[in-house]
Amino acid sequence: MNILALGGSGDMGRMAVALLLESPNVTSITVTDKNYERANHFVDLVGSDKLKAVEIDVTQKKKLVELISSHDLVINTVGPYYKFATMILEAVIEAKKPYVDICDDWKPTLDLLDMGDAAKKAGITAIVGMGSSPGVTNLMAMIACSQLDTVDDLITAWGYGADQGVGKKPKYFVKPREFYGKFKGIPAIANAATMHLFYETLEEIPIYKAGKFVNIKPLTVANQLQFPGFKDTFVCHIGHPEPVTLPRVLKVNSVSNLMYLGKTVTEIVRKYTQQIINKELTLSEATMLFGEQMRKMSRDAEFFKEFIGQENIRKNFKIYISAARKREEPIDHILLYGPPGLGKTTLAYIISNEMGV
């Protein structure tokens, strides 16, 4: 299998590539980046003859279609998805190749799902939102809900705390410090994941409540969650695809997605969000400033006191379900998951026989 890893030298892409290299079904992976030097640097660090680097600007559709056409499968980790998701899937459909991405924006997710008929007509399968959240969280929700007679509230949650090194790193994993070391002194690039975060705080977001979709303000504080072995966790609502996708396939009363970054970080996010809304900062500028502030704070031991007692929380993605089982009294069910979801989940198309998105 010849795989095209769009954004393969990015933070998410590097992990996906590292995991895919362990599969005997993968014969080659083309790692792309808008900057050839970055893609080639990652390829050199990994040192596998299965990898090659290619420079591509995904906004140049003709070149993108040509590149896609020479591969068996496209894995798209190019973010932020509100900018690039639909244009890339359009190129994939034109090239008639199967596709997987980790789209984590709710609006583009709905746009991608609306392209289902076009994908079916092209005879391809496109799986969107197959990372950790959404992705692993969706699979966890499906498994948990399948064991229950009725489900009242379904919450997917993501965030971080004290990092205890959960999960075994793949053989070809490249540490971020090792990858970025070469580029010291070069102007930093706005982090796509952080841009996504701020994008989802700029206007109302949908949740599924009492059997219907309603819009609420982003960063609305929710009831604290209690996970086994953890202290109460400060959480707030954020725009993610799970609330608009899971109600399509599950009979459930309410669905929401919560973020746990702690009170301190959440207030910092609020500050930058307001500056973006006031046009004091662009989204990219806020992303850069936020990233620099987080780097400084992460060197301060005081920053982590908020997460003491939350061992392993950083790499856990959570499902919280309030449900009734076998007509008994309502009880709470909680599932925890440790390792990151991206990588092995990107081969999900192998078990999917249904065409479309």
**Cβ(33)–Cβ(9) under 8 Å?**
yes
| pLDDT: which is higher, 306 or 22 | 22
Q: Is the pLDDT of residue 337 over 60?
A: no
Domains and CATH numbers, the chain: 2-131+342-351 (3.40.50.720), 136-337 (3.30.360)
Q: Is the pLDDT of residue 225 over 60?
A: yes
Q: Which residue has the tokens 């997710």?
A: 109
| pLDDT: which is higher, 206 or 324 | 206
Rounded mean pLDDT of the chain?
85
Q: Is the pLDDT of residue 349 over 90?
A: no
pLDDT band, very low/low/confident/very high, at 297 (cuts 50, 70, 90): confident
pTM of the prediction? 0.86
- Calculate ∠ Cα 131-123-71, nearest 5°: 60
Element (H, E) at 270: helix 262-277
Which one of 18-22, 141-145, 214-218 scores highest in mean pLDDT?
214-218
Look at residue 10 in the predicted model and tell me its pLDDT: 94
CA dihedral 168, 7, 110, 267 (to 10 degrees): 70
pLDDT band, very low/low/confident/very high, at 187 (cuts 50, 70, 90): low
Lowest-confidence range among 27-41, 44-58, 245-259, 342-356?
342-356
Q: 88: which 2 tokens?
A: 């890339």
**Average pLDDT estimate for 245-259:** 94
Look at residue 167 in the predicted model and tell me its pLDDT: 61
pLDDT band, very low/low/confident/very high, at 305 (cuts 50, 70, 90): low
| pLDDT: which is higher, 294 or 307 | 294
Report which of 11, 59, 58, 9 is spatially closest to residue 29, judged by C-alpha positions. 9
CA distance 354 to 352: 6
Look at residue 355 in the predicted model and tell me its pLDDT: 64
- Under DSSP, is residue 285 helix (H, G, I), strand (E, B) or coil? helix
Look at residue 17 in the predicted model and tell me its pLDDT: 96
Phi and psi dihedrals of 17, rounded to 5? -65, -45
Element (H, E) at 87: helix 81-95
Look at residue 304 in the predicted model and tell me its pLDDT: 65
Amino acid at 102: I
In eight-state DSSP terms, residue 347 is: G
**Average pLDDT estimate for 159-183:** 77
pLDDT band, very low/low/confident/very high, at 58 (cuts 50, 70, 90): very high
Lowest-confidence range among 16-30, 128-142, 177-191, 249-263?
177-191
| pLDDT: which is higher, 190 or 98 | 98
Element (H, E) at 318: strand 317-324
